[in-house]
Amino acid sequence: MRKPLLAVSLVLPLWLSTANAAEFDMRPGLWEISTTSDLLLLAPAIPPDQMQNLRDLAKEYGMEMPQIENGAAISKVCITQEMAKQKTLPNFYQSETGCATKSTTRDGNSYKADFVCESAELKGNGIAEGHLTSAESFSGQTRFTGTAQGAPVNEKADVTGKWMSASCGAVKPM
């Protein structure tokens, strides 16, 4: 049961966490995204073969498994100039996870998005909320209720992002 729940903790916040708000354009370049949740505290107890399965699952969704330390998954994301100019939430990983945004609202630098997931492996509803504090940082939270690979899920994750560099280096845009 931990494997599908951890997968939800890793995948859903990433495609929702790079939102930009009406008042700020996100600064293009390399961003560090940190996702914390109670489930991520369980990562050290996951046997190596199951952790490899999670890495394989992440690759299926087109992403590298983030570094996990002290209950936080830390990953790098490349935001292009075009992505930074968008005034809508990016749709990262939505088609791969079987999820779609139902509605998006924005009030100044705050955002809220409702989403629904309807794939064989992930079914349920969620919400992402947050605040872009500057062109170089944001914080927020995601919540998801449903099932992951048939296991019940009621998960919350806190997400923060900070701009690191104008160059993405080897990190490819999503």
77-97 pLDDT tens trace: 888 888 877 755 455 555 556
Q: Which of 98, 107, 145 is nearest to 19 (CA)?
A: 107
Q: Which letter does DSSP use for residue 70 in this model?
A: T
Four-point Cα dihedral 5, 26, 23, 19, nearest 10: -20
Domain ranges in the chain?
2-165
Alpha-carbon distance of 172 to 130, in angstroms, equals 24
Contacts of 59-68 with C-beta under 8 Å, sequence gap 24+, read 60/96, 61/11, 61/93, 61/96, 61/97, 62/93, 62/96, 62/174, 63/11, 63/14, 63/93, 63/174, 65/10, 66/10, 66/14, 66/33, 66/35, 68/40, 68/43
Most confident of 4-8, 50-54, 84-88: 50-54
Question: Which residues are paired to 79 by β-bridges?
Answer: 29
Q: Is the pLDDT of residue 143 over 90?
A: yes
pTM of structure? 0.75
